[in-house]
Amino acid sequence: MVAKPLRILIVEDYEDDALLLINEVKKNGFDPVCERVDEQGLMEKMLDEREWDLLLVDYVMPEFNALKALEVIHERGLDIPFIIVSGEIGEALAVEAMRKGAHDYLMKDNLQRLGSVIDRELIEAKTRREHRQSVDGLKIAKEFSENLLETADTLIVTLNSEACITMFNKHAEDLTGYKKEDVIGRNWFELFIPQTDTQVIPKVFLKALENMSEVSRYENSIILKSGKERLLSWRNSVLRDISGNINGLLILGIDVSERKKAEEEREALMCKLKSRNKEIKQFTYAVSHDLKSPLITIQGYLGYLRKDVLEGEAKDFKSDIDYINNAAIKMKNMLDELLRVSRLGYALYEIKKLSLGNIADEAEQNVIGQLSKTDIKIKIAKDLDDVHGDEIKLIELFQNLLENSIKFMGKQERPVVEVGQRKSVNENIYYVKDNGMGIEPQFHEKIFGVFDKLNKKSEGIGMGLTIVKKIVELHEGRIWVESEGSDCGTTFCFTLNKKKEGKV
């Protein structure tokens, strides 16, 4: 049988007693490497220089003793089997030594137990060492987990089976504005879930407790301490007790408010681009179609002019040239209006807070010349709100709508145009209403098109309402017409949703 190596520090003032101990150790199957010391300084030196498996210590020496040796061990935080071997030690002294940390004691004249005591203490020392390593490992793991939780840029919360908060990490504090001590033990749903979700989210929680995989990921908003809401994307994981029963939930939340906002803005932009592309196609078609009319007129009367020249019909020259000139003027006017509309989307505007009542009054002054030739009364509401917009463009908007009402008033006994507003759920609706000729429902969209004129004999080239629609859209609003048809009057309704001041 191969002897087991054993490093022994013997604290003994008699060399013969030390040799006796060494021989007894060898008899029990060990191969000892030993050093003997009999003073505190030498003991400390040996402990600093080497590692030891065992201490065999005499209880009383001239310059040293076992209790002082124990103090040296404890001061260094060492856990080495400490066995007292003495020729003279009473039971009371032995108990005192054991109380202070000695592991066992033997009498020098009775060493039969030495081998079994060494075996036992080496095993117990190994067990204590493994336990310390396990505890240290758990401590390190705990510290690592806590550091991970506290430094993670994710909201991490644990809930018990009653949805009460049991853990709340640093990021959760930063995001919500609550301190950990303010929320531990409080119900998650009552504290953080908006009223609109109180019927839905608890059901998600209950499904998650049932370990339903389909609810492991979801999105919902939470209410911050400030009262604001943030949208979070969640991932759930069930927590279990030592018996494996589900007793809570670990929830990880990532703030996706900005991402969601960017997605919605992108979607809105895509819809806007699609709408603009559709408008461009319609615009291109209208332009190509309507510009052909004066060109055809010019081309036709150039043919007549050529014929008259060849036949010497001088009396028809002036008539032919007048037709050609009028067609050219019409084309010039159409091109001018097209250029004006196209510039609406690219010019620099100054958005500021304005009195809509003052805007409407200014527009009325601009059409006073047209009104003077009619019996039309314009009534402007006194309670019109202030709005954010470009002053010049909003005056143009009201002026065009007033001119349209004047132009298509028809023969009314008491012609009147009203400018006012009405409240809806989310916005104010402004309107210009007349009791004139009215517009059939099938033309409610068509009238805003380029060069679209319901009455071909009326003045203008059909761009007024196109410009109005463009101005409304520049103010992030929408416009529509309300009319039941012929002789039922017309109401042009629109919204203005521009909020921020400044140049755009």
pLDDT at 453 over 70: no
* Alpha helices per DSSP H over 152-256: 170-176, 180-183, 188-192, 201-209
356-365 pLDDT per residue, tens: 999 999 999 8
Report pLDDT for 326: 72
Q: How confident is the model at residue 185 (pLDDT cuts 50, 70, 90)?
A: very high
> Strand 386-389's sheet: what is its strand order?
386-389, 350-355, 502-503
Residue 331 parent element (H or E): helix 317-344
pLDDT at 452 over 60: no
Which of 54-68, 110-124, 220-234, 434-448 is predicted least confidently?
434-448
Give the pTM: 0.45
pLDDT at 89 over 80: no
Dig out the tokens for 78 from the structure. Answer: 């060492």
Start-to-end C-alpha separation, the chain: 96
376-393 pLDDT per residue, tens: 999 999 989 899 988 888
Let me know: does 494 contact 447? Beta carbons within 8 Å. no
**Mean pLDDT for the chain?**
84
Let me know: does 19 contact 46? Beta carbons within 8 Å. no
Longest dimension (CA), the chain: 160
Domains of the chain listed by start with CATH number = 4-142 (3.40.50.2300), 152-255 (3.30.450.20), 346-504 (3.30.565.10)
> Strand 82-86's sheet: what is its strand order?
30-37, 4-11, 54-57, 82-86, 104-107
Which of 97-101, 121-125, 283-287 is predicted least confidently?
283-287
Report pLDDT for 461: 44
pLDDT at 320 over 80: no
Dig out the tokens for 302 from the structure. Answer: 């150039």
Which of 112-126, 289-303, 348-362 is predicted least confidently?
289-303
d(CA 448, CA 442): 13
d(CA 271, CA 73): 80
pLDDT at 291 over 60: no
Using CA atoms, how far residue 247 sits from 3, 181, 209, 250, in Å, is 54, 22, 8, 10
Torsion angle of C-alpha atoms 362, 366, 370, 376, degrees rounded to 10: 0
